A and B are shown apart, each in its own frame.
Chain A
Amino acid sequence: QVQLVESGGGLVKPGGSLRLSCAASGFTFTGSYMSWVRQVPGKGLEWISYITGSGRTISYADSVKGRFTISRDNAKSSLYLQMNNLRADDTAVYYCAGGLGWPLDYWGQGTLVTVSS
């Protein structure tokens, strides 16, 4: 069955960096559009980035543009999110999600990122 497993979350100080990973299985990862979506506990969903199957097209929300970088390794069926210059308002659960195009068919369980001094 489809599985998306995120890792790499944790506690980081403001201005610090983290790299999130998402291991995919059970579907054709190479052809899938993949996204990162975050959610402050108890609040709404915020889409932050997506990447097409080939990696040729990438898009970011304004809130993370210039600080976050999405990438993928199709040979490893893995998605990544490099997060730099982290701020307190980046604190959230980060979900890996995707599908064959849009919208988001598959979701991981999420990984919590806490930005605090």
Chain B
Amino acid sequence: DIQMTQSPSSLSASVGDRVTITCRASQAIDNYLAWYQQKPGKVPKLLIYGASTLQPRVPSRFSGSGSGTDFTLTISILQPDDVATYFCQTYNSGPRTFGQGTKVEIK
């Protein structure tokens, strides 16, 4: 089964900072990679699919990149509203495994 490893597990950054989260698959998954945002006490929300395609109404400060085994989620200008835990998920084949999550906080 494919394992998804996110790093870091948590980060603290200042408003306006550029934030990058990485997700590594244990084997190649082409671009079958999604990113979800889960704000405290809320339900997960799909942000990005196909590794780099933003869902409608997702702010353009979010971007995704990568293919194969290495992927990144970038928040170009961190906002207070971005405090959340971010999860990657593969939907290539087999189990639709999630990464363990990256908690983003404001410094």
**Chain A residues near B (Cβ < 8 Å):** 35, 37, 44-47, 50, 59, 61-62, 95, 97, 99, 102-105, 107-110
**Chain B residues near A (Cβ < 8 Å):** 1, 32, 34, 36, 38, 43-46, 49, 55, 87, 89, 91, 94-101
Residues of chain A within 8 A (CB-CB) of B45 are: 107
How far is A37 from B34 in the complex, measured between Cα atoms in Å? 15
Q: Is the CB of B32 within 8 A of A102?
A: yes
How far is A95 from B42 in the complex, measured between Cα atoms in Å? 12
Find B43's partner among A50, A59, A110 (CB 8 Å cutoff): A110
Find B96's partner among A44, A95, A102 (CB 8 Å cutoff): A102
How far is A50 from B91 in the complex, measured between Cα atoms in Å? 11
* Interface pairs (14), CB distance under 8 Å: A35-B96, A37-B44, A37-B98, A44-B98, A45-B36, A45-B101, A46-B98, A99-B46, A102-B91, A103-B49, A104-B44, A104-B46, A105-B46, A105-B55
Interface of B is mostly: loop
CB distance from A95 to the nearest CB of B (A): 7
Q: Is the CB of B101 within 8 A of A50?
A: no
Q: Is the CB of B100 within 8 A of A103?
A: no
Q: Is the CB of A62 within 8 A of B89?
A: no
How far is A61 from B38 in the complex, measured between Cα atoms in Å? 22
How far is A95 from B43 in the complex, measured between Cα atoms in Å? 9
Q: Is the CB of B96 within 8 A of A109?
A: no
